[in-house]
Structures are given as structure tokens and as C-alpha cells.
């Protein structure tokens, strides 16, 4: 077969597989939002069948033949050409997929579907023992997956590759250790600072219906297109990209915790903006997909923290908040509200953690996941190991499993290897924002007027429109001129919080 025809067939297959995957994504979104509990078994079978069908397509020997027909042809003379980028990713995914038996893929999907529901039930009951058998199954399946995929140093690397291609856990351990060494003294200084905010401002009565209105208002201002997306309620905040024109976000609300839903909404909006900014003409191919999950997390963390916890943001939004929550914010000064939004305190729950302590939550999960995969930590011992890690790094000990190891749904969903991308995303976000300020100048004036278009346009031009053309590490270096590093984040945190807390 001629190389041009072989490439066209690869593209056709890729687009078809992406459509099929979007059906699974829609079923997964429904499972997390509106699925009746009695329908879990049927949904597990549906998702397992789709996973098996997708695996069959991804591992079809004809794909390997088509790749051979294209590789080495004139279509790939320039590595930056569209065809070269797509084929590079087709080959990477194919080589990975053919190592996994369909039976393992289907079983992993089926178990994860049940495990997610059991995690939610265990969380409601604050009882890890209900979830433990499912975590044991997940860990066993993930170890089998790592063995099938192969690795050089650590089984965790085989799973990490799914979310951040090319990353290795030994390298991340070094990077994260350097970050930890800089963060711990800052956390300690802020914890014992004489100037403290009043966090109770955010713990008053904030009616849920008004929280939703305020969240939608902020999402629209940042650029989220509600004609091409929606906002729903769930147990654990998430986003789902069904396809062009259909990007969905979900958040959770608490009546006396303003920040829980609001910042989770901003976080998921950041994900959604990336998806809504990907080149539609390349949908169904690597060029129409994100660079990596860490780069995805960079978008969510940038909009949630760098923008959403910034002073200019609240210069614009605080007067609106006071109109929507008149009772809760009566007599509250803008400066006091802004300080409360940026309260730094060791807490148990990752999704509501401040931006200074947040990465310590991730480092704990990273260490526990590696230990689970290596066999150094048994699933039954997770609660005690979790509690000990929190005591060691944050000086606090969870009083129950909801505050502790049941707070995240990732393990129930089988997403072992996902957590490091949050910290990598924070690092990418700090470098990106430093670069956009260098190129555009001070964005604070526009933010204070409720205008976020310049930032969104810059991100669309520099990140979103490239899709998966460049691996994340290469993309950050092309955009900022520097490889990934921990210092930009540390410097930004020190500057902001030293001023706030008058260190």
C-alpha cells in the first residue's frame, strides 16, 4: 500500500476510535452524575464492552502494517509536519496497546466501574474497609498492567507513561524533593505568621442555588462556552470532553464552604477551556488532543489559583459576590475576603487545599502510589500510611477515612499514576504565567475589569491550538525558553504570600 493511502487509513481509524471512545466518555460522565445506583452492574458491562472494542481496534495487526508502510516515507521527513506528529503518536500508542491483553483491559474497566461506586458508598459511611477489597483488586490489576507494559526501574513508570509520556518516577522524585525542601519552610513561616486571615468568612451560609449562579457567572467571564458545555453536580469534581461542542464540567457544593465549589468550578473550567480551544479540524487525531495530562492540569491550576485567587480577580468579583450573598458578606471588607481566599493552613482535603500546601498533598499520594505498585505498601495498610504521611508532612492526622484516604476517587477509577500531573501542572502553570506577563505586560488591570480575554487568547495561541504536536516538556521549553523547573512556582508563592502575611 502506498504511504499516502496508508496514512489516510490510519487517520480514518483514529477518528473512528475517538468517536467510539467519546461514547464511553459519555457513559462515564453519566455514571458520575445521574446513573441510578441499581444500574451500576449494567453500566460496568457497557463500559467493559466498549473498552474491549477499543482495544481490539487499537491492537489490530493491520495498524502495525499501516505504520510500517508510512514510517520511513517522504511524509515524515520533517518531524514537525502534521503527518509526522500523528504517526509518532500512533506508533507510541500502538506499541503500548499490543502489550495489553483484551481480557485485562475489560476486567480493569469492569472492576473500576464497580470500585467507583463502592468508593462513593464507603466515603458516605466513612469506612475504608468497604472500599479495601476493591482497592486490592485495582492494585492487583495495575501491577499486572505494569508487568505487561514493561518498565526499566519501577512498575509505577509503566502507569505514569499513560498520563505523562516520557516521565519517570525517579526523576519526579528528585524534582518533587527539591520542591518539598523549598515549600516546607514557607509553610512553616506562614503557619506561625502573626498576621492571619479570618477563614470563617468563607464558612458562612452560602445558599447552594446562589453558589451555582455565581460559579456560572465566573465560568462565563473566564471564557467557558455554555453553548458547548454544561455544569453539573457530582461527588468528586471532574470534567468530561465528549467531543467538539460538548465539554462538561461537574462540581460539588457545600452550604457553609464557599471555596469548595467555587474553586473546584474554576479548576474544571480551566480544563474545559483547553478542550474548547483544541483545533476542531484535527479532532480524532493526536493533533487534536492535549499535549499531556500535566499540561492539562497546568490550565486548570492557572485559572483556579493564579487567576482565581489573585487580588485583581476579586477586585472585580467581590462586589458581585456581595450582591449574590448579601447576608454572608455583610460588613466584610474586600481585603479581608481576599485574605480569607488565600488562607494558608494545613488541612486534610486536597481539593480545598491552599496553593502553598497543595503540592504536599500530591507528594504524599505519589509516595503511597509508588509503594503500592512496588509491593512495599499493602492496600490494607493505606489508612495508617496515609495518616502517618499527613502527620509527617503537614503536622495533622485525619480523624476519619473521609478526611483521609477516601477523599479522592482516583484509585477507585483505576487512575494510579495520575496524581503527579497535578504538581507538574502547577510547575508548568507558574512558568506559563511568568512568560505571558513578560510578553503582554501587567494583566492585573484587565482582570480587575473582568476581562480575561488577553490571557485566554495567549493560551490558545501558544498552547491550545498546537494540540499534541509537542510533548509537554518540549512545549514548555518552546513557549518559555526554559525546561520545566520548580523555582518559578516557589518564587511566585514567596512573593505573593510574603506580602500578604507580612513576613
CB 198 within 8 A of CB 333: no
Give the phi and the psi of residue 242 in degrees, each rounded to 5: -80, -35
440 Cα distance to chain centroid: 27
Q: What angle do CA 386, 390, 396 make, to 5 degrees?
A: 130
Q: How far is CA 198 from the centre of its chain?
A: 29
**Catalytic residue selected from 106, 118, 161, 268:** 268
Closest-CA residue to 480 (of 430, 419, 405): 430
Residue 125 vs residues 120, 281, 401: alpha-carbon distances, Å: 9, 47, 9
Residue 231 backbone phi and psi in degrees, to 5:
-125, 125
Give percent helix, percent strand, percent coil of the chain, each to the nearest 5.
Answer: 70, 5, 30
Tell me how far apart the alpha carbons of residues 165 and 173 are, in angstroms, rounded to a whole number: 16
CA angle 369, 371, 376 (to 5 degrees): 155
Instruction: List the one residue out of 358, 379, 364 whose CA is nearest residue 427.
Output: 358
268 is known as an active-site residue: yes
How far are the Cα atoms of 67, 144, 149, 190, 274 from residue 95, in angstroms, in the given order?
11, 17, 9, 48, 27
Please state the length of the chain.
503
DSSP labels for 115-128?
A: HHHHHHHHHHHT-H
Only one residue has cell 460538548, namely 246
Residues carrying an active site annotation:
268
Amino acid at each position: 500500500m502506498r504511504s499516502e493511502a496508508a496514512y489516510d487509513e490510519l487517520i480514518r481509524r483514529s477518528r473512528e476510535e475517538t468517536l467510539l471512545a467519546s461514547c464511553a466518555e459519555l457513559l462515564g460522565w453519566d455514571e458520575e452524575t445521574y446513573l441510578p445506583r441499581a444500574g451500576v452492574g449494567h453500566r460496568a458491562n457497557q463500559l467493559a464492552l466498549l473498552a474491549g472494542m477499543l482495544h481490539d481496534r487499537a491492537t489490530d495487526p493491520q495498524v502495525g502494517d499501516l505504520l510500517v508502510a508510512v514510517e520511513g516515507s517522504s511524509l515524515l521527513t520533517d518531524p514537525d509536519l502534521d503527518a509526522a506528529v500523528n504517526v509518532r503518536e500512533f506508533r507510541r500508542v500502538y506499541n503500548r496497546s499490543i502489550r495489553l491483553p483484551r481480557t485485562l483491559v475489560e476486567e480493569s474497566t469492569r472492576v473500576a466501574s464497580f470500585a467507583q461506586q463502592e468508593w462513593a458508598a464507603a466515603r458516605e459511611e466513612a469506612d475504608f474497609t468497604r472500599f479495601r477489597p476493591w482497592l486490592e483488586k485495582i492494585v492487583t490489576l495495575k501491577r499486572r498492567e505494569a508487568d505487561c507494559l514493561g518498565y526499566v526501574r519501577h512498575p509505577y513508570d509503566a502507569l505514569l507513561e499513560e498520563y505523562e509520556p516520557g516521565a519517570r518516577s525517579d526523576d519526579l522524585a528528585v524534582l518533587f524533593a527539591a520542591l518539598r525542601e523549598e515549600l516546607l519552610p514557607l509553610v512553616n513561616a506562614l503557619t506561625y505568621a502573626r498576621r492571619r486571615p479570618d477563614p470563617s468568612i468563607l464558612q458562612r451560609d452560602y445558599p447552594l442555588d446562589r453558589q451555582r449562579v455565581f460559579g456560572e457567572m465566573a465560568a462565563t467571564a473566564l471564557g467557558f462556552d455554555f453553548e458547548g458545555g454544561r455544569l453539573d453536580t457530582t461527588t468528586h469534581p471532574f470534567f468530561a470532553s465528549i467531543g467538539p461542542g460538548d465539554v462538561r464540567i461537574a462540581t460539588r457544593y457545600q452550604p457553609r464552604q464557599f471555596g469548595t465549589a467555587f474553586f473546584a468550578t474554576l479548576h474544571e473550567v480551566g480544563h474545559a477551556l483547553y478542550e474548547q480551544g483544541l483545533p476542531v479540524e484535527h479532532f480524532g487525531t493526536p493533533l487534536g488532543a492535549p499535549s499531556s495530562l500535566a499540561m492539562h492540569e497546568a490550565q486548570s491550576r492557572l485559572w483556579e489559583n493564579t487567576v482565581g485567587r489573585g487580588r485583581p480577580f476579586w477586585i472585580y468579583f467581590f462586589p458581585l459576590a456581595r450582591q449574590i450573598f448579601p447576608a454572608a458578606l455583610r460588613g466584610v471588607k474586600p481585603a479581608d475576603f481576599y485574605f480569607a481566599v488565600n488562607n494558608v493552613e494545613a488541612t486534610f482535603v486536597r481539593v480545598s487545599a491552599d496553593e502553598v500546601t497543595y503540592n504536599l498533598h500530591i507528594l504524599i499520594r505519589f509516595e503511597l502510589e509508588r509503594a503500592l505498585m512496588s509491593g512495599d505498601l499493602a492496600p490494607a495498610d493505606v489508612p495508617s500510611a496515609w495518616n502517618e504521611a499527613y502527620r509527617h508532612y503537614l503536622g495533622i492526622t485525619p480523624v476519619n477515612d473521609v478526611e483521609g484516604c477516601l477523599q479522592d476517587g482516583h484509585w477507585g477509577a483505576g487512575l494510579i499514576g495520575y496524581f503527579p500531573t497535578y504538581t507538574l501542572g502547577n510547575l508548568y502553570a507558574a512558568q506559563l504565567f511568568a512568560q505571558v506577563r513578560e510578553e503582554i505586560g501587567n494583566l492585573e488591570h484587565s482582570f480587575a475589569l473582568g476581562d480575561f480575554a488577553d490571557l485566554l487568547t495567549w493560551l490558545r495561541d501558544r498552547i491550545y491550538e498546537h494540540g499534541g504536536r509537542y510533548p509537554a516538556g518540549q512545549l514548555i521549553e518552546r513557549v518559555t525558553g526554559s525546561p520545566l523547573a520548580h523555582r518559578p512556582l516557589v518564587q511566585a508563592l514567596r512573593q505573593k504570600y510574603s506580602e500578604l502575611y507580612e513576613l
